Structures are given as C-alpha cells and as structure tokens.
Amino acid sequence: MFEQAVQVSEAHRQGAQYMAGSLKMAMKGCRECKTMHMIASPELGTCVDCGSELQVLDI
C-alpha cells in the first residue's frame, strides 16, 4: 500500500517536471494556515480561513 502510494507520488513529481517547460505547475498557499492548493487560475485569491493573501509557493 505504502509503496504504491510512493510510486504514484514519484510519477506525479516526474510528470510535473516534464510539464514545467510548457505549463508550469505551481502551488499557492497561506503561510499562516500552512494550506496549499494547486494554482488553477491567474488570480491567487485569499485564504478562506484567515483572509490573508495567498502566496505562490516554490517547490
């Protein structure tokens, strides 16, 4: 079970790297709440929990 989850995660990571050239996969998040979301729109928006502006996270 755990090994399979690792493989899926690894594949996802490699896929993200593969697409980095044309479509940059990025995450946004709230540093206050430590929440992370995949960026799906040009606007980052604000945290629904605390109202802070979401920031682009470098992974």
Could you list the residues that contact Zn ion (CB under 5 A)? 30, 32-33, 47, 49-50, 52
Of the candidates 27, 24, 31, the residue with the CA atom closest to the CA atom of residue 53: 31
* Closer of 10 and 32 to Zn ion (Cβ): 32
Min dist CB 31 to Zn ion, Å, is: 8
Distance in Å, CB of 39 to Zn ion, minimum: 16
Listed residue (38, 13, 17) closest to 27, CA to CA: 38
Q: Judged by CB, which is closer to Zn ion: 20, or 36? A: 36
